[in-house]
A and B are shown apart, each in its own frame.
Chain A
Amino acid sequence: MRSTPRTTSSFFTLLPFGQYFLNTVIVTAFTVIGQLVICSMAAYGFARLNFIGRNTIFILYLATMMIPFQITLIPLFLIVHNLGWVNSFAGLIVPGISSVFGIFLLRQAFLGIPNDYQDAARIDGASEWRIFAQIFLPLTGPALATLAVFAFMGTWTDLLWPLLIARDQGMRTLELGLAYFSVRPNAYIQPNWPLLMAAAVVVMLPVLVVYFFAQRYFITGIALSGVKG
């Protein structure tokens, strides 16, 4: 217990964890917002509008869902590199602002809402955008919360992509800082384990808090949008 203050103080002075925390918050916030907006729009299109080629495009989308990230990693890095986004927030955020999984999840939730709402609103002369934003989004709150928690967890604890994109201190995220703690220059030097554990707890804490308060919606959201069959 006596060593606790010393541990925590050196934990914040050893690496700029304040900066890491800020970076992680920025990246996570934009990714979550982007996923909510883009995925819900696409999900509405796939679930509720009839257009030619809709089912074909959706099947193709689903086919990509089964592909692990590692397969597209190298070409994706080349693309981001060519866009000049290496070591920038754009590079950290933009590849993650839409996910096929999110579209799938929200599409299932939209499918569960009776057609009558849409028909009634159309007869009243509402535009598709208004039907989407004022009827469908409020009705699928739990599913949106589920996607938000998924996106939050995935981005907050992501290691691989920030490892590639963030080059200097100013861009690193918390998970990267954690990984740097455990690096040992040679086999004889042990990392500072208590420090590493303290850092791990601090990194985990926000996700834990979000999960604790969102779990009711989270479970309802999965039940609402789960594949029933």
Chain B
Amino acid sequence: MSSIQDRALPGGQTQGFFQAITTRGPRLWQRFWSRSNERIGYLFILPSLVHTIIFLAIPLVFSFYLSFTDWRGVNLQDAPFVGLGNYDFLRGDRRFWAAMLNSAKYTLMSVPLGMAISLAIAVVMNQKLRGIYIFRTLFFMPVISSWVAVAVIWVTLLDTRSGIINWLLDLVGLGPVPFLQDANTALPTLVLIAIWKGAGFQMVIWLAGLQAIPQELYEAAAIDGGVALAGLLAHHPPAARAHHLLPRGHGRDRVIPGVYAGVRHDEGRAARLDRRGGVPHLPARVPGLRHGVRFGAVLGAVWRDLHRDGAAGVVQPPPGRRDPFLERAGTWNRRWKAT
């Protein structure tokens, strides 16, 4: 699985253009159509390549081009080129920066908190109990519920006058909290709703990671007298971490939730808040922040993957970095068997 084919040809750096075409052209072609090139590979990727070019690459490039025009969406002849005009406008637009800030806040709150909560759920759901599948399915229900229904339910629950949450808060003397109506509480509330809805999906990914952890680690921890929580903190993250490289919410409609849950049901309120400095309004989920971080992680993993030698699929730990816990577990097992 080496990638020699992708590398540039050596030598020939001082050739002229004509010479390059006449002497190197045929060689390049020969090399391209050589025996080591498994040409059937092109046939295998052809359907997806055609699909990706038509329905992904062309729209992408076209969207990028449109960002330099003043297209009003009527017909394509009516799209005057304005250069960097749109970007210049955004640079000076207060609402845009408010939206960017809100996106950053939203991401910084929801990603760590969502990961922590879903990990906790996954650890509980990782036990071998009768009927555990039913509980896992229950936690998965919000993931597949429609945002329409979810928004209605949360708005009802959080209502200041008739909502059950405010009624409970009222019982302990913490007066009504306008969760979705106050500019200070709206964003954290949306974060919590989004976490509630997405935790089931992240739980599945964590579960996959947790189940890949060898059983010996748990046994060793039990022998060491490790408390469950300490064991969790010590062993789960390194072993299960990699699974969070999987994209979070890759579905088409999953990018809207922040907007849909909070704004859609009351456009007037959204507009009011928007004037005050903004809740996540339509351009709020500016792509890039959350996606950028994940992009780096996945690209890094794939890069390593493409450039390694040895067994396919399994990345060996670098020789310098050993897992002390794994070694200790091994020692324990050996000692256990010896006695």
Taking A54-B41, A62-B299 as contacts, is the C-beta distance between A196 and B48 under 8 angstroms? no
Mark A residues whose CB is within 8 Å of B: 37-39, 41-42, 44-46, 49-59, 61-76, 78-79, 94-95, 97-101, 103, 108, 111-115, 128, 132, 150, 153-154, 156-161, 175, 178-179, 181-182, 193, 196-197, 200, 203-204, 207-208, 211-212, 215-216, 218-223, 226-229
Q: Is B51 on the interface with A (CB-CB < 8 A)? A: yes
Contact between B149 and A69, CB atoms less than 8 A apart: no
Chain B residues near A99: list those with CB within 8 A: 250
Residues from chain A with a CB closer than 8 A to the CB of B230 are none
Identify B250's interface contact among A50, A58, A101, CB under 8 A.
A101
Give Cα distance in the complex from A69 to B52, angstroms.
Answer: 13
B47 lies within 8 A of A41 (CB): yes
- Provide the main secondary structure of the chain A interface: helix
A215 and B147 CA atoms in complex are apart in Å by 22
| Partner of B287 from A68, A79, A226 at Cβ < 8 Å | A68
Question: Which residues on A sit within 8 Å (CB–CB) of B148?
Answer: 178-179, 181-182, 196, 200
- Are A159 and B147 in contact, with the CB atoms below 8 A? yes
How many angstroms between the C-alpha atoms of A83 and B158 in the bound complex?
46
Is the CB–CB distance between A44 and B47 below 8 Å? no
Q: Which chain B positions have C-beta within 8 A of A74?
A: 59, 63, 66, 73
Whether A154 and B211, one on each chain, are in contact in the complex, defined by CB atoms closer than 8 angstroms, is: no
Which chain B residue shows the least CB distance to A151?
B251
Instruction: Report whether A215 and B137 are in contact in the complex, using a CB–CB cutoff of 8 Å.
Output: yes
Query: What total of A-B pairs shows CB separation below 8 Å?
Result: 251
CB pair B313–A55 under 8 Å, yes or no, is no
Please give, as numbers and ranges, the residues of chain A lying within 8 Å of B51 by CB-CB distance.
38, 97-98
Cβ contacts under 8 Å, B246 to chain A: 222, 226-227
Per-residue interface assignment for chain B, residues 288 to 324, with 1 indicating a CB less than 8 Å from any chain A CB and 0 otherwise: 0001101100110110111000011111000000000
- Chain A residues near B42 (CB-CB < 8 A): 45, 51
Cβ 8 A contact of A64, one of B43, B60, B305: B60
Known: A62-B299, A66-B294, A132-B44. Contact between A51 and B38, CB under 8 A? yes
Q: Given A51-B37, A228-B315, are A72 and B60 also a contact pair (CB < 8 Å)?
A: yes
Instruction: Say if the beta carbon of B14 comes within 8 Å of chain A.
Output: no
Complexed CA–CA distance, A215 and B125 (Å)? 13
Interface size on B, residues (CB 8 A): 83
Q: Give the chain B neighbours of A156 by CB distance below 8 A.
A: 144
Q: Residue B231 at the A interface, CB < 8 A?
A: no
**In the complex, are the beta carbons of B149 and A196 less than 8 A apart?**
yes
Contact status A229-B152, CB under 8 Å? no
User: Which residues of the other chain, B, contact A50 by a CB distance below 8 angstroms?
Assistant: 1, 5, 36-38, 41
A61 to chain B, nearest CB (A): 7
The answer to whether A223 touches B212 (Cβ under 8 A) is: yes
Q: Which residues of B contact A97 (CB under 8 A)?
A: 51
Cross-interface CB contact of A157 among B251, B295, B302, cutoff 8 Å:
B251
B111 at the interface (CB under 8 A from A): no
A219 to B207, Cβ gap below 8 A? Answer: yes
Known contacts A204-B145, A226-B208, A65 near B247 by CB under 8 Å = yes
Closest CB in chain A relative to B277 CB, distance in Å: 23
Given the interface contacts A200-B145, A227-B246, does A79 sit within 8 Å of B58 by beta carbon?
Answer: yes
Which residues of chain B are within 8 angstroms of A158 by Cβ–Cβ distance?
Answer: 251-253
Chain B residues with Cβ below 8 Å from A229 are 242, 245, 301, 304, 315
B105 to chain A: closest CB distance in Å?
A: 19
Bound: A147/B136 CA distance, A: 19
Give A208 to B200 CA distance when docked, in angstroms: 12
For the complex, give the distance between the alpha carbons of A132 and B38 in Å.
Answer: 14
